Structure 1
Amino acid sequence: MNLSQIQAFITIADTGSVSEAARQLDCNRTKLSMAIKALEKDLDIELFIRSGNQLTLSEAGKAIYKDGQSLLVTEARIRQTCLQASGEFNAEIWIARDDSLPDEKWQAFAHRLNHRFPATAFNIVLASCGDLANLVATGQVDFAFGVDYERIDDPHITYQPLGKIRMMSVCKANHPLSKLRRVSNEELRNSMQAVMVYLNEKDNPELKPFSLRHIGFSSFDYILTTILSEDAWGVLPEPLIRHHLRQQSLAVIKHTYGLTQEDYCMFTSSGKAEHPGMTWLADKLNEYLFDF
């Protein structure tokens, strides 16, 4: 048994196909099939149930799947530790972030990062909060920051809560919902909702629309613009809308759905050494959220 065989096993289990696994791993399909046969021979058990071109995990395969994932995570951690020990740090870091915090706050953080860590290039991209964990898990970015609606048991991801963020159901100040002393479920469902949508293929029940009529966007800022310009309501993070609430251009809807709290997290690939710039950024975000 070796790590390349474990990698083949995990990837085929995730995709259900040798062909797709070979494409993802950029290797020969025959070589991948031979790796699985060698692993099964070594363990003296069948890991997959074969039906045409489809493969599903056998009971034995299901039993060792988590351990296989853990082995790959440990391998990545060992390699990263060795790179760190040899002084080979990342000269470029990719960061994904949602827009739950004001843009000017992120711009200030970005400028300070560049000044404090001039040897590292920081690339910051905007993403839907529902896609952050997946972007890290698939290696498209190194770190991600944003609202964590649904923490899943994924050994590839480390979640570090940096603070609580209050999510508020709001509408325009002159919206009919703002005039009601108590908003019923029916009234909320019959009003247009601006909702968060994302590309991650995993369903997230907390991001499903509450209203029967809705329009979806990949950013909180687009949701805010729609609420301010259309007869819609939506759920938005307090840091993004505090000044609108103070100016009374937005009103909080009086409904049990009106106020919730979510974790604001840093998402990291398990086994990746934390760059000192990310430690600094996490501390600054924690301090900022503490004020709320």
Structure 2
Amino acid sequence: MNLSQIEAFCAVVSAGSVSEAARVLDCNRTKLSMAIKALEKDLDTDLFVRTGNNVTLSETGKAIYKDCENLLVTSARIRQTCAQVSGDFATELRIAHDDSLPDQVWQDLTLELNQRYPALSLNIVLASSGDLADIVEKKQVDFAFGVDFEREDDPRLTYQPLGKIRMMSVCRADHKLSKLPRVSDEVLRDEMQVSLAYLNLRDNPELLPFSLKYIGFSSFEFMLKTILSEGAWGVLPEPLIRQLLREQTLSVIKHTYGLTQEDFCMLTSSGMSEHPAMTWLADQVSDYLFTF
């Protein structure tokens, strides 16, 4: 039994098929199948039930899957620790964030971060809230900041809550929904909604549209613009719309879920040491959220 065999096993479970796992790992399908067969031979048990081209976990496979995931996490942690001790830590960080906080906040924080850590190179990208966990897990970025809709117990990821963020169901102040003393589910479902669209394949009930008619966008900013221009409704974070609420350009819909709270988190791969620059950034974001 070796780590490449464990990785092959976990990849097939995560992807749902050998062919999809081979695509994700960018390796030959035959090589992947041979690695799993070698693991099964070494363990003297079948890890999958095979029916044609479909594979499902056997009872043994189900029993050991979580331990195998933990082995891969431990392996990554060991490599990260060795890199730190040998002084091989990258001076470049890849950071993703959603747009639940105003652009100006991120611009100010980025500039100050650059002044505090001038030797550090930063690559900062905007991503949909629903994709943050996925791009961290796939190591496309080192750290991600945003609203946590996942609520999954994934040993490959570390979630550090930085504060609560209020999500508000809003519409334009002149919309008929804003005039109702109470909005029922039936009425809300018949109105056009703008919702958050994302790329990862995980089912996430928190991000499913409520209305029968909807348009999905990858950012809260696009959602906001459509609410203002097209008379739709949607669920937006308070920091992004506070000024528009004060100006009475937007109104909160009087619905059961008109106001909810979500965690705003910093996400990173399990076992990855937190860079001092990210500790500073996390503290600044936490202080900002405390004002709401």
User: Which whole-Å CA distance do the structure 2 matches of 1:16 and 1:248 have between them?
Assistant: 49
1:213 matched to 2:217? The reply is: no
1:86 aligns to what? 86
User: Which whole-Å CA distance do the structure 1 matches of 2:231 and 2:23 have between them?
Assistant: 47
Task: Note closer, same or farther for the CA distance 1:191–1:70 as it changes in structure 2 (3 Å cut).
Answer: same
2:163 aligns to what? 163
Task: Note closer, same or farther for the CA distance 1:242–1:53 as it changes in structure 2 (3 Å cut).
Answer: same
1:62 aligns to what? 62
Cα offset for 1:29?
4.1
2:135 aligns to what? 135
Cα offset for 1:30?
4.2
User: Which whole-Å CA distance do the structure 2 matches of 1:16 and 1:237 have between them?
Assistant: 34
Q: What is the TM-score when the length of structure 1 is the normalising length?
A: 0.95
Q: Percent identity?
A: 71
User: Which whole-Å CA distance do the structure 2 matches of 1:41 and 1:198 have between them?
Assistant: 40
Cα offset for 1:9?
1.6
Task: Note closer, same or farther for the CA distance 1:252–1:17 as it changes in structure 2 (3 Å cut).
Answer: closer
1:228 matched to 2:228? The reply is: yes
Across the aligned residues of Structure 1 and Structure 2, the Cα RMSD in angstroms comes to 1.5
Task: Note closer, same or farther for the CA distance 1:15–1:250 as it changes in structure 2 (3 Å cut).
Answer: closer
Give the length in aligned residue pairs: 292
Secondary structure, counterpart of 1:234 in structure 2: strand
User: Which whole-Å CA distance do the structure 2 matches of 1:28 and 1:197 have between them?
Assistant: 32
Cα offset for 1:215?
1.5
**Counterparts of residues 40-119 of structure 1 (less than 5 Å):** 40-119=40-119
1:238 aligns to what? 238
**Which blocks of at least 5 consecutive residues in structure 2 are unaligned?**
none
Task: Note closer, same or farther for the CA distance 1:17–1:260 as it changes in structure 2 (3 Å cut).
Answer: closer
Cα offset for 1:28?
4.3
Secondary structure, counterpart of 1:159 in structure 2: strand
Cα offset for 1:254?
1.4
User: Which whole-Å CA distance do the structure 2 matches of 1:255 and 1:23 have between them?
Assistant: 44
**Which blocks of at least 5 consecutive residues in structure 1 are unaligned?**
none
Cα offset for 1:140?
1.1
Q: C-alpha deviations, 1:54-87, integer Å up to 9, x for none? A: 3322111111011000000000001101111111
Cα offset for 1:53?
3.5
